Structure 1
Amino acid sequence: MTTDTLTTNIVVASDKNYLNYLDIVLKSLLAHHQSFNVFILNTGDISPEWMEERQQFFAQRQSSLYSAYINQNELQRYRQSDYITQATYLRYYIAELFACSQSNRWLYLDCDIVINGDIFRPFEDKRFSQFSLGAVQDPFVSNLAQHRFRQGDYFNAGVLYINADRWAGTTEQLIHLTEKLQETLVYGDQDVLNVYFHEQWFAIDWRYNCQPEHFLSGSVNAENTSPDLIHFVGSVKPLAKSQFVCSVQKAVDLFKFYDKITYQTILENPIGFFKFILRSK
């Protein structure tokens, strides 16, 4: 299987424990885009029936949904801690998918994300052809007094605009670097990716990876502010029965909206119809 050269390819890594959140990613993608491919990196615990049910909805947006199987044994070498599970290391295997498409445009997304606009625009940045990836600076790690793996700017690895021409062939090198640094990693593979791609990435606008820290710091405070992608980093997720501060609650409500709405309702409306404005008041 190969795709058109202009097609954007999206990779999401997940397991059966995050299917509710994976659905939110997929629904919100279909609400704002068409003509793209999604590859779900998984270790085989997402059933074929689950995939087949959603593939029919993707076809209605001239898009495709694929399961990309990685043997669970591959992940046993990685340590997990707190909310950083072995599944997060699935993104190391993105390069194994490049043969499926002639396009060099690959977008990696964590599954605790909701899309709220056109997230393909960063691919048009003239810097894209010059670097391995584009990403948003991590506001939390950047504000720490110190972090041993922060070499200048430090990016959040939950949203990665990948240039396949430059990223290709990195899987074994990332694995080797992880084995070397594993005893001292704080943020798992995100630390490894920052070390490996130091000076090989360019910074994009925070609107393409808006995190709770952006809400808390006041970045999302202007009238009609509307981030195109919201990423709920951290151990407490938006569908949990938890209390959130008022500014963050706005993002939580958007996750809950997509959790409840059906695929069919989304497809009955035009692309971009479900655009939410996160007002300051």
Structure 2
Amino acid sequence: MTIRGRQVPLSSQKDSLPPCNQNPVHVAFGVDAGYYRGMGVTITSIVENNPGMCFVFHVFAFSITPDIRQKLQQLQERHSITVQLHLLDTEVLQEFKQFPCFGQHSLGTFIRLLIPDNLNGITDKVLYLDADLLCFGNLSELLAIDISDHIAAAVADEKDTTVRTQIPALGLKHGHYFNAGVMYINIQNWIAAGIQESALKSLTTQNLRFADQDALNIALDGHVKYIDERWNYRYHLVDYLSKGETKLDVPQAFVLMHFTGPVKPWHTWCLHDIKQLFTDIQSRSPWAEIPLDGPKTTRELKLFSKFLILQNRILEGVYWHCRYLGSRLRQNLR
């Protein structure tokens, strides 16, 4: 089973981009409404740190607004890159909605499972990236990794909790579990092994803690080339902010920094130095004038009040804690 999307031009006029003098690098994202800004800033950081490299960015989504479409067009023209929009019909996953994993997550979560099959015939390899990361270096070494005998290259998650829980829970025979936010994929090997079908089957037959990431670990067990952590350096902001820490603390050199967890650099309530780094890059993107996102959910209000109090901003913390209590009360009364 192949679930296909349709390529949609960003504008009605034919793009007049300079031809590549080399084989283009194909990079793919799967996004929903809340992640277009993050993706745009990610792309900006990639292009700025890889001058002279020819990129084709594939954007997979279920919907897009005219404003976002225009911003992607501006991104393309500003950096002389190619941005290809692939719109998926929400009906393609309709038959899976009855299963618990699909009911607990937005459909955008599962887009990355569909990307390689949709790029068949367009490219042999694709670098899949989550939209909540930043690039701070050159990607040439990553793209030179030989994956001819593998389905994908990825970074292992070596946290003790992951090793203790996910590997035995999923029955992984090769002793590793990877984070699926960065995957360099051999498309033909992926298709030949039926990874999309295998992952979807796991999602419909098992109750998976980390949904599509767990499903991919099951499907790709024994077929992943594990690479250095600098290609997917996870920075869980809530861990640092929960200890009152605001300075960027990185013990090693990295190229791709991945902001896992509920706190993102585009949140006003991210009281961490990384927010300034993010907004600096955003200022050079088509999203330059877009304000950062404030706390909306009960959980976000609670975290914001906690972070403020930990940084001795007591009055502000108490104010936002009251906002949290009010939100929680309204939620309970529904």
TM-score band (shorter)? 0.7 to 0.9
Where does residue 175 of structure 1 map in the other structure? 200
Structure 1 residue aligned with 2:128, among 81, 100, 108? 108
- 8 Å contact kept, 2:236–2:261: no
Count residues with an aligned counterpart: 250
SS at match of 1:145: helix
- Kindly state the Cα deviation for residue 121 of structure 1 after the two structures are TM-superposed: 2.1
Q: Could you tell me how far apart the structure 2 residues matched to 1:30 and 1:70 are? A: 26
Q: Is the 1:105–1:123 contact (alpha carbons within 8 Å) kept by the matching residues of 2?
A: no
Q: In the alignment, which residue of structure 2 is the partner of 1:149?
A: 170
Q: Kindly tell me: are residues 264 and 243 of structure 1, through their superposed partners in 2, closer, same or farther at Cα, counting changes over 3 Å? A: closer
> Which structure has the higher relative contact order (CA within 8 Å, separation 6+)?
1
SS at match of 1:185: coil
State the shift of 1:119 in Å: 2.5
Matched, 1:185 2:202: no
Give 1:260 shift.
Answer: 3.0
For residue 261 of structure 1, give the secondary structure of its aligned residue in structure 2: coil
Matched-pair contact (CA < 8 Å) for 1:139–1:213: no
After superposition, the CA RMSD in angstroms is: 3.0
Partner SS state of residue 157, structure 1: strand
Deviation string 1:108-147 (CA, Å, 9 cap, x unpaired) is 1111111111224222123x11100000112447555322
Tell me: CA distance 1:243–1:36, structure 2 relative to 1, closer, same or farther (3 Å): closer
The answer as to whether partners of 2:40 and 2:287 remain within 8 angstroms in 1 is: no
- Contact 2:127–2:182 at 8 Å: present in 1 too? yes
- 2:263 corresponds to which residue? 236
Letter in 2 for 1:9: H
- TM-aligned CA deviation for residue 240 of structure 1: 2.2
* TM-aligned CA deviation for residue 233 of structure 1: 0.8
Aligned AA (2:31): S
Provide the residue aligned with 2:49 in structure 1: 32
Retained in 1: the 8 A contact 2:74–2:286? Answer: no
Cα contact 1:75–1:89 (8 A) shared by 2: no
Amino acid of the structure 2 residue aligned with 1:172 = E
The CA deviation at 1:175 is 1.7
Structure 1 residue 90, shift from structure 2 partner: 0.5
Q: What whole-Å deviation, never above 9, does each CA across 1:14-60 have from its counterpart, x for those lacking one?
A: 112222212211221221233111111101x2125522443344245
- Cα 1:210–1:197, aligned 2, differ >3 Å: closer, same or farther? same
Corresponding residue number in structure 1 for 2:76 = 58
Instruction: Report if the CA contact (8 A) 1:92-1:171 is conserved.
Output: yes
Question: Among the aligned pairs, what percent are the same residue?
Answer: 22
Greater gyration radius: 2
Cα distance 1:86–1:191, how it changes in 2: closer, same or farther (>3 A)? same
SS state at 1:129 partner: coil
* Aligned equivalent of 1:88, options 103, 109, 127: 109
CA–CA distance in structure 2, aligned partners of residues 129 and 73 of structure 1: 34
Q: Which residue of 2 aligns with 1:276?
A: none
Distance 1:134 1:251, change over 3 A: farther
Contact 2:71/2:287, CA 8 A, preserved across alignment: no
Instruction: Give the letter aligned to residue 108 of structure 2.
Output: A
Matched, 1:16 2:64: no
Cα distance change of structure 1 residues 72 and 119 upon mapping to structure 2, 3 Å threshold: same
Q: How far does residue 104 in structure 1 lie from its aligned partner after superposition? A: 1.6
Where does 1:120-159 land on structure 2 (aligned, <5 Å)? Answer: 120-126=140-146, 128-140=147-159, 143=162, 145-147=164-166, 148-149=169-170, 151=172, 152-159=175-182
The 1:5–1:95 alpha-carbon spacing in structure 2 relative to 1, beyond 3 Å, is farther
> CA offset at residue 107 of structure 1?
0.7
* Separation (CA, whole Å) in 2 of partners of 1:94 and 1:63: 20
Residue number among 86, 97, 100 corresponding to 2:118 in the alignment = 97
| Aligned-partner Cα distance in 1 for 2:21–2:89 | 28
CA contact (8 A) 2:236 2:259 kept: no
CA distance in 1: counterparts of 2:225 and 2:162, whole angstroms: 19
Aligned partner of residue 159 in structure 1, secondary structure = strand
For normalisation by structure 1, the TM-score amounts to: 0.77
Conserved 8 A contact 1:95-1:170: no
Please tell me the residue identity of whatever aligns with 2:170: F
Taking structure 2 as the reference length, what is the TM-score of the superposition?
Answer: 0.66
Matched, 1:200 2:223: yes
Gaps of 5+ in 2: 1-6, 8-19, 241-248, 289-334
Segment of structure 1 superposing worse, 250-259 or 151-160: 250-259
Unaligned runs of 5+ in 1: 266-281
Partner Cα separation in structure 2 for residue 145 and residue 165 of structure 1 = 33
- Measured in 1, the distance between the counterparts of 2:283 and 2:141 equals 28
